[in-house]
Amino acid sequence: MKKFLMTAVLGMFALAGFSQVKWDARLGVNFSNLTGDGDTKALTGFTLGVGMDYGFSENWSLQSGLMFTSK
């Protein structure tokens, strides 16, 4: 597992050397409530994540990311 994680991290750094790669961070708030139960208090949660966008050309790109969302 350690070798795989280290290989993935080093691969990300190798891709970051190209000008087509863009990194981004995402942060947000979400609100939810339960209807039909009588008690409809809004529940507050958060979203946090990182992403990468690799552009092959002006029309084609690959986007990936990892998001953590509380429920």
CA distance 48 to 53: 17
Read off the pTM: 0.50
Tens of pLDDT, residues 5-60: 888 877 777 665 655 778 889 999 988 876 666 666 778 899 999 998 888 888 88
Place of tokens 């993935």: 8
Map residue 4 onto helix, strand or coil.
helix
Continuous segment of H or E residues that includes residue 14: helix 2-16
Is residue 25, in this structure, part of any structural domain at all? yes
Domain span including residue 63: 20-69
CB 70 within 8 A of CB 62: no
Contacts of 12 (CB under 8 A, 6+ apart): 52
pLDDT of res. 49: 94
Residue 38's pLDDT is what? Answer: 64
Residue 2 domain flag: no
Q: How many domains does the chain contain in total?
A: 1
